[in-house]
Structure 1
Amino acid sequence: MRGGGLIGVAVLVLAGCAAPDVPRSSPSPTPVQVSAPAEVAPEPADAPVVASAPAFTSAISEITPELAARMEPSWRPGCPVPLEDLRYVSVTHRGFDGLDRQGELVVHADAAQDMVTVFRALFDAGYPVRSMRLVDDFDASDDDSMAADNTSAFNCRAITGGSEWSEHAYGRAIDLNPVENPYVRGSSVAPPGGREFAGRPDLPGVIHADDEVVRAFASVGWLWGGDWESPIDYQHFSASGR
C-alpha cells in the first residue's frame, strides 16, 4: 500500500510541474525581395545587320507559251532546234558590285544541268557576272547584248562573219562578260568597249587560261574560244569547241 501511495504522489507532483499548453503562433514568412525586371536597351538604329550566308539557287524549266512569246526575236520556225528541245535556266550569280542576283539563260535541254554545275562553281569562286538576261531583251542583237556586257546563250543566228549556224543557234554555247572578254580578229575588237581588255589584264571578270572559269566549263566538257588562234573569242564557251 505504501508503494502505491508514493507513486500517486509522484504523478501529482510531475503533473504540477508540467508547463501549461500555450497556443503557438505560426512564424511569419520571410518577405522575398523581387527585383524589378531589368529594362532591355533597344538596339541602336544603326546596328549592323547580320546577313545569312550567300546561297546559290537554280531552276530548270521547259519553254512555256509566255516565254516562247518573249523569245520571238531569238527563235523562229526554221531554226535548227525546236523550242521543246530548249530549256530556261535560272542561276544565282555574283555581280561586280558584290551583290547576288538571279540570272537567266536559254540553252539546249542537254546542256541545262551542265550550266547549273558551271555557274554554281563560278558563284562559289566569287567570279562576277555583269548581266545575265535573255538576248531577246536586246531584240536578239548580238552587238547590243555584247555592248551591255550581257552574258547570254541561245540565239538563232549565224556564226560571226559567216552563213553557217552558230553553236548559239543550238543552245550549246554561251558568251560570258563580253566587254571584259571580247572577240578579237586582228585589230578588230567586239564589242568596242572591250578593247582595253584585249591584252588580258588581271581584272575582275577577265578570263585567263586555266583559271577557275575555264576549269569550270572544262569540268562539263565545254571548251574556251580564248584558246583559238584566230579569231580569239575570249567570251565564248561551247560544247563542240566551235
Structure 2
Amino acid sequence: MLKSLLAALLVLSPAPSSASRPEAHIIRPGDTLTAIARQYHVTVGDLKSWNNLDGDLLRPDGALRLSDSHHVRPEWVTWSETLTAAEANGDPAKKCPVPVTELRRVWVKYLDFDGEVHNGSLIVNRSIVPQTKKAFALLYEWHFPIMVMEPVAVNMPGLTDRTVLTSGYECRNVAGTTKWSQHAYGLAIDVNPRQNPMIRGDYLDPPHSEPWIPRGPYRAGMIHPQGAEQAFTTNGFSWGGRWTSLKDYMHFSPNNL
C-alpha cells in the first residue's frame, strides 16, 4: 500500500519548470548527459541542442546550458597582432624587462557567465602565442565560462574592479618584492582571478574572494584538477593550483614560475 502511494505521488508531482531551473549546470567528474538530463527533467537531446554538442563527452568545469534561451555559439576564431609601446606599458619609466616587439595581443572567442559569446584579448610573449591560442580554443570547446576579458568597455561595460579580468602581460613585480613577475615577461596568464584566487597564508588575492577559497564546490569559472586546468597543462603550461608553498589557482605559466 505504501509503495503504491509513493508511486502515485511521484507521478502526480510536477517536474521542475524551466523557470525554476538554474541557468547552467557546472560539470563535475563523473557527470553524464543522461544523469544531468534526469536531474533537471529535460532530455539528452535538449542538452545537446542547447549546447551544440556533437557527442557525449563532458569536461569538468564546463557549463551546460539548461534552456534554449541562448543563441547558437559561433565558431571559435583567433588571431594575433602587434602592439605599440604605449598600448603595452603606457609609462616608459617602468623600464619593463621585455621590449614591445616581443609581445603580441591574442584575440579569442570566449563564453561569459551569462552564456554570451565575446571576442576577448590578452597580451602574451610571442613565444607562447600558439599554445595560448590552443588553450583558449579548448576552454571554448569545453564550454568553460570566463567572466570577462578585454576590451572591458565592450564586454562588461561599467566594470571598475579589474581584478576579475582574465589577462596575461602586466609590467609589475611579484607582490611584496622587487622581483619581476612572470606577467612582466608575458609568460603568465591569470584565468578568472575572483573564482580562482591566490592563497598564501592569510594573504588572499584578489580581495573579497573568500567564498571561493573552498575548492570542493564546482561553481562557474572555477578551475579544478583534471578539469579546466588541462586546457593549459596539455599545451605546455604549469598550473599554480598544484604548487605546495602557496596556491595560485588562476595562474598558468610555461616555466612553472
Normalized against structure 2, the TM-score is what? 0.65
Q: 1:197/1:236 Cα in 2 relative to 1: closer, same or farther (>3 Å)?
A: same
Question: Which of these two proteins has the greater Rg computed from alpha carbons?
Answer: 1
Q: 1:241/1:49 Cα in 2 relative to 1: closer, same or farther (>3 Å)?
A: closer
Superposition deviation, residue 51 in structure 1: 5.1
Tell me which of 182, 189, 196 is aligned to 2:204: 189
Aligned to 2:78: 58
Tell me which of 206, 213, 216 is aligned to 2:222: 206
Tell me which of 216, 233, 238 is aligned to 2:231: 216
Aligned to 1:167: 182
Superposition deviation, residue 75 in structure 1: 6.4
Identity %: 35
Structure 2 gaps, min length 5? 1-67, 153-159
Task: After the TM superposition, list the runs of 4 or more consecutive aligned residues in structure 1 that deviate by more than 2 angstroms.
Answer: 48-54, 68-78
Aligned to 1:233: 248
Superposition deviation, residue 72 in structure 1: 3.4
Superposition deviation, residue 77 in structure 1: 6.0
Q: Which amino acid in 2 is paired with 1:203? A: R
Q: Which amino acid in 2 is paired with 1:99? A: E
Superposition deviation, residue 205 in structure 1: 0.7
Tell me which of 124, 130, 135 is aligned to 1:118: 135
Give per-residue Cα distances to partners, 1:183-239, cap 9 Å, x unaligned.
11112211122111011121111111121x211111111001111122211111111
Superposition deviation, residue 53 in structure 1: 4.6
Structure 1 gaps, min length 5? 1-47, 136-142
Q: 1:114/1:59 Cα in 2 relative to 1: closer, same or farther (>3 Å)?
A: same
Aligned to 1:130: 147
Q: Which amino acid in 1 is paired with 2:80? A: I
Question: Within 1, Cα distance between the matches of 2:244 and 2:110?
Answer: 30
Q: Which amino acid in 1 is paired with 2:187? A: R
Question: Within 2, Cα distance between the matches of 1:153 and 1:76?
Answer: 21
Normalized against structure 1, the TM-score is what? 0.69
Aligned to 1:95: 112
Q: Which protein has greater RCO, CA pairs closer than 8 Å, 6+ apart?
A: 2
SS, match of residue 87 in structure 1 = strand
Aligned to 2:169: 154
